Amino acid sequence: MFRPDGSLLLHHQCPMATVLRTGISVREQEVHIERPDGSRGIALVDIEAIKNSDGNIVGAVNCFQDVTERKRSEEQIVNLAREAEHRTKNILATVLATVRLSHSATSDNLKQLIEGRIDALAKVHTLFVESRWAGAELHRLVTQELMAYGGESKVRVRIDGPAVMLEPSMAQTTAISLHELATNAAKYGSLSATRGHVEITWRLTVDRRLILRWIESGGPTVTPPTHRGFGTRIMENMIGQLRGEVRFDWRDQGLTCEIALPLA
């Protein structure tokens, strides 16, 4: 037998020895037991002294209740609660940063901006649940975000790249970045024109970096902006926190954006 702290519980110090010495009952005392095969379990012991007619202790009865699985379940519940708290704080921090970085000339436009960005986060979290919070598969993430613009039919949107599982923080950043690019393209870029197209491709480098490219074509003639928009700032801020890089190239035929992220 062992104490809860892992130290050896000698026979003359065990609960049974204490009851035989003192006659004081033991109720639900936790001990760790090593089985003959070397495995360990946790038990609660209840011990009652047996006394003769003169009141002398002549023995004791010991009842062991195996609570190994129960203790394991309790530990898992505690760990899950801590993990849920951690993830909730991360989600709220991301939402708060999104709200702080959202600006518009009117309150209605501001509401639409915030709703769109939070919706992008909600979509990627659906993928997290499906993978039991391992992350999100990049092809599904891109398809999900571009579906409204013809991502599934491949008429206006072309998606191509190897299978990549993104861990949650990187998946969130990618989802928000794609949302910003798609929203901008729908308002001013290639997705605002009937014959406009967007190509999203990615590759992995030998040093474990993800290179994702967004290429627009067939839209109105593009002119470089005179100042950095808030969507651009959001992308740069979130990608920079992951030690990644983002570059924009406003070509005449359409915007090209390249995002580089270090994979875990």
Q: Delimit the domains of the chain by residue range.
A: 11-66, 71-262
What pLDDT shows up at residue 100? 67
Cβ pair 73, 51 in contact under 8 A: no
Q: Is the pTM of this model over 0.85?
A: no
Are 168 and 138 in contact by the 8 Å Cβ rule? The answer is no
* pLDDT computed for residue 228 by the predictor: 74
- Residues in the chain, pLDDT under 50: 151-153
Q: Cα-Cα-Cα-Cα dihedral of 250, 255, 256, 262, to 10°? A: 100
Query: What is 11-66's CATH superfamily?
Result: PAS domain (3.30.450.20)
How many whole angstroms separate alpha carbon 168 and alpha carbon 180? Answer: 18
To which H or E segment does residue 77 belong? helix 68-100
Q: What is the pLDDT of residue 122?
A: 81
Residue 55, C-beta contacts closer than 8 angstroms, at least 6 positions apart = none
How is domain 71-262 classified at the CATH fold level?
A: Heat Shock Protein 90 (3.30.565)
Structure token digits, residue 2: 């062992």
pLDDT digits (tens, 9 = 90+) for 114-165: 778 788 878 887 888 787 778 899 999 999 989 888 644 457 899 999 999 9
- Structure-token pair, residue 167: 């861990």
Sequence-separated contacts (24+) of 216-219 with Cβ below 8 Å: 216/185, 216/189, 216/190, 216/191, 216/253, 216/254, 216/255, 216/256, 217/190, 217/253, 217/254, 218/190, 218/193, 218/253, 218/254, 219/185, 219/189, 219/190, 219/191, 219/192, 219/193, 219/254
pLDDT of 153 reads: 44
Closest CA to 260 of 241, 239, 244: 244
pLDDT at residue 231 in the model: 78
Per residue in 1-22, pLDDT tens?
898 888 998 989 889 999 999 9
DSSP labels, 116-148: HHHHHHHHHHHHHHHTTTS-EEHHHHHHHHHGG
Cross-strand partners of 156: none
Helix then strand then coil, in percent of the chain rounded to 5, is: 45, 30, 30
Cα dihedral sign for 27, 30, 34, 36? positive
- Token pair belonging to 82: 């801590």
pLDDT, residue 152, reads 46
